[in-house]
Every structure is written in structure tokens, then in C-alpha cells.
Structure 1
Amino acid sequence: MKTIKVPTRDEVKPESQLLFDQVTKHLGMLPNLYATMGYSPGTLKGYLQFEAAMVGGVFTVKEKEAINLVVSEINNCNYCLAAHTMIAKSKGYSHDETIGIRKGYSAENKLDAVVKLAKSITENRGEPDAQLLEAFFEAGYREDALVELIGLITAKIFTNYLYAITGVPLDFPKAVSLENA
């Protein structure tokens, strides 16, 4: 099978080089997964624009990290688990909370409704358990939150699949496996 390597700045088109510079300025580094997206300038640009459009939406930064964690766990994406475990901890989650979220639950009721629904949507390819959808609305979320949740899941599935196919090297501390948690 062909090995997909992480491209250097000189190995991508000028449009991707500019995006690499923007990501590096914003994050202080160019994550390997973003660099790999750079093979397709339109894909990298579209992904970055989609992520930026979701800033300031219905969900808090912490809720978004919970969604990223549970979706990445279901899709067995070691890269995204590494990145989002680190980010989640920097946003105030404890190690135990990140493990619980990855297992599909939270001790906080409203977050639990989000995590459980995100898990069900992902596991069932867009056809969640009706009771979990109802619990999400009963927790106080509205239609805008449901649509945003689907968008966040979709964005994370994209990066999960990109990692699954390319296997780019981790550039974040590896997340502990659930078996060792």
C-alpha cells in the first residue's frame, strides 16, 4: 500500500503554503494532519473556513472538545484523540473527565445529553437513538444546536478518516487507551 507522507511546505502548491503560514501563526505550529490536507489547497481552505465558521456557535469550547473526543474515540482516531485530549485538558477537563467523555458519558447532565447524542449519531451513521435525541432537546438545546452538532461531527469524521487512511505521525502526546485508563 502506498505510504502517504506529510508534505513539507515546498512540496505543496502556493495556495497551501499561504494556508500553512496562517495555521502556523494561529496555532504556533502546523499539525501534521493539516499539513497533509495541504495536498489539496481547496480541501485545507474549506476545512479551515468550516472550523472558523463554527467558532462562537451554540456550543462552548469545552462542549466542542467533548464532541471531538467522543467522535474520535468511536472512529478510533489516535491522532485526533491525542490532539483533543491535550486541548480538552487545557480547557479545564480532568483526565478522568476526558476518559468518561470518550466512553460516552459525562457527570454533568447537559453535557451528557450532547455526548450521548454525538456518540449515537456517529455510531449509527446519522440515525441516532430517538430517546437520545429527545433527551438532547429536554436538556435545553434547540434545532440550531442539533444542526451545529451534526456539523461538528461531520468535521471530526473528516479528520478521523484522513488519519485512518494516511496514518500521519502524531505530533501531540499520545492519549491513553481506554483499556489502560
Structure 2
Amino acid sequence: MKTFQVPTREQVSPAVQGIFDHMQSAMGMVPNLYATVGYSENALTSYLAFQQAQAKGSFSTKEREAVFLAVSQVNGCDYCLAAHTVLAKMNGFTEADTLDLRAGTSADAKLRVLTQLAASITATHGRPEAQLLENFFAQGYTEKALVDLVALVADKTLTNYLHNITHIPVDFPAAPALSTVAA
């Protein structure tokens, strides 16, 4: 099988080099997964625009991180689990919270319903259980929120799949495995 390398700044287009420079300045690093998306200028620029647009959607940063953890758990993406565990903790979740979100067992009813539906949408390729949809709307979420949720699932699925195919090195601390958590 082909071994994928994370491209260096010199190996990407001038437009992507500018994006890398901005990331380096803003975050102190260019995460390996973003760098790998950078093989395609079109993919990176459109993905970043899509991500920025999601910040204006129905969900808070914490809710988006909860969704990203649930989707990444279903898709088995070690990279995104690691990155979003760090980001979730930066946004007020504890490590225990991140494990509960991944398992769909959050003590917060609204987050529990949100992560369960996100996981079901992912696992069933867009055919979630009817009861999960009913629970979502019962929590006060709207049709707009459902569309925004599907967009978040698509967002994270892209990077989950890219990492699962390329196996590029994870440059965040590893997320704990759910199986290591005492029941």
C-alpha cells in the first residue's frame, strides 16, 4: 500500500503556502491533517470556507466539538479524536466529558441527543433511527439545526476518511480509547 507523507510548505501551491503561513501564525503549527488536505488547493480552500460557515450555523462551538467527537468515534479516526479531544477541552469540556460525548452518554440531555443523532447519521449513512430524530426535535432543535447537523457530519467525515486512508502521523496527544474507561 502507498505510504502517504505530510506535504511540506515547499511541496504545495503558493496559495496553500499562504494558508499554511496563516495557520502557523495563528495556531503555532500547521496540523498534519490540514497539511495533507493542502495537497489540493481546491479541497483546502473550500474545506476551510465550509468550516468557517459552520461557525455561523445553529450550534455553539461546544456543540460542534461534541458532534465532531461523536462522528470521529463512529468513523474510527484516531487523528480527529485526538484533535477534537484537545479542542473540546479548550472549550470547557473535561476529558471525562469527551468520553461521554463519544459514547453518546453525556449527562447533558441536549448534548446526549445531539451526539446520539450525529453518531446515528454517520453509522447509517444518513438514515438515523426515527426515535433519535423525534428526540432531537423534542429538545427544541429545528429543521435548520438538522440541516446544520448533517453539514457538520459531512465536514468531519471528510477529514475522518482522509486520515483513515492516509494514516498520516497524529500530531496531537492521543485520545483515550473508550474501552479503557471503567463502566
Please, what TM-score do these two structures have when normalized by structure 2? 0.96
Q: How many pairs are equivalent?
A: 181
2:100 maps to: 100
> Could you tell me which residue of structure 1 aligns to residue 139 of structure 2?
139
Cα separation, 2, equivalents of 1:175 and 1:50 = 25
Q: How far off is 1:75 after superposition?
A: 0.6
Partners of 2:105 and 2:122 lie apart in 1 by 14
Report the more deviating stretch, 127-136 or 89-98: 89-98
Matches within 5 A, 1:1-181: 1-181=1-181
Once the 2 structures are TM-superposed, how far is the Cα of residue 56 of structure 1 from its aligned partner?
A: 2.9
Quote the offset at 1:179 in angstroms. 1.3
State the shift of 1:169 in Å: 0.4
Give how far 1:113 is off: 1.2
Displacement of 1:28: 2.4
Compute the displacement of 1:168 (Å). Answer: 0.8
Structure 1 stretches lacking a partner, 5+ long: none
How many Å separate the matches in 2 of 1:95 and 1:33? 22
User: Cα distance, 1:103 vs. partner?
Assistant: 0.9
C-alpha distance in 2 between matches for 1:24 and 1:55:
21
CA contact (8 A) 2:32 2:169 kept: yes
CA distance in 1 between counterparts of 2:62 and 2:13 reads 35
User: C-alpha distance in 1, partners of 2:43/2:25?
Assistant: 19
CA RMSD for the aligned pairs? 0.9
Aligned letter for 1:106? S
Percent identity at matched positions?
50
Q: Supply the distance in 1 between the matched residues of 2:12 and 2:66 (Cα, whole angstroms).
A: 33
What is the CA-CA distance between 1:26 and the residue it aligns to? 2.9
Partners of 2:101 and 2:111 within 8 A in 1: no
Matched residue type, 1:84 = H
**Residues 93-151 of structure 1: CA deviation (Å, up to 9, x unaligned):** 11111111111221111111111110110110000001100110010000110000000
> Take 1:100 and 1:65, find their aligned partners in 2: how far apart are those partners?
13
Structure 2, unaligned stretches of length 5 or more?
none
